[in-house]
Amino acid sequence: MYYTCPHCFKSISTGNFLYYCFQHNDYFKFPHYDWEKEFWQNEFTFANLKLFIFPKYATQLNDLKATYANKYKRAIYCPECGATNQAKRMCPHCKEEFYYKLLGETTNIVSIIGPANSGKTVFIGVLINELRNDIFLREKDYSFEFVGQRTTDVYRDFFYEPLYEDKVLPNKNNTLSTGNFEQSARKPMIFHIKKVGSKSNIILSFYDSPGEDIEDLDAARTHLKNMYASQGLILLMDLTDKETLMTSMQTLDNVVQMLREGKALYANDKIPTRLALVFTKCDRYKKELGTICNNPPKIPTIEYIDLVSSTFENYLRINGYKHILNTTQNNFSNYRYLPVSALGFEPKTAPDIAKNDISPMMIEYPIAWLINELG
DSSP states along 227-255: HHH-SEEEEEE--SSHHHHHHHHHHHHHH
Task: Give the DSSP H or E segment for 131.
Answer: helix 120-132
For range 323-347, the mean pLDDT? 92
Domain assignments of the chain as residue spans, ordered by start:
16-100, 105-374
Q: How far is CA 356 from CA 339, 345, 346, 349, 360, in A?
A: 21, 8, 10, 12, 12
- The tens digit of pLDDT for each residue in 265-286 reads 988 999 999 999 999 988 888 7
- Binned at pLDDT 50, 70 and 90, residue 77 comes out as low
Instruction: For residue 21, report the phi and psi dihedrals to the nearest 5 degrees.
Output: -85, 125
Distance in angstroms (rounded) separating the CA atoms of residues 156 and 37: 44
**Maximum Cα–Cα distance across the chain:** 72
- The tens digit of pLDDT for each residue in 147-206 reads 888 889 888 988 899 889 888 887 654 444 444 434 444 578 888 888 887 777 788 877
**Is domain 105-374 given the CATH code 3.40.50.300 in the classification?**
yes
Pick from 20, 188, 165, 120: nearest CA to 366: 120
- Give the pLDDT of residue 355: 65
How crowded is the C-beta side of 245, counted as CA atoms within 13 Å? Answer: 11
Mean pLDDT of the chain: 75
| pTM reported for the whole predicted model | 0.80
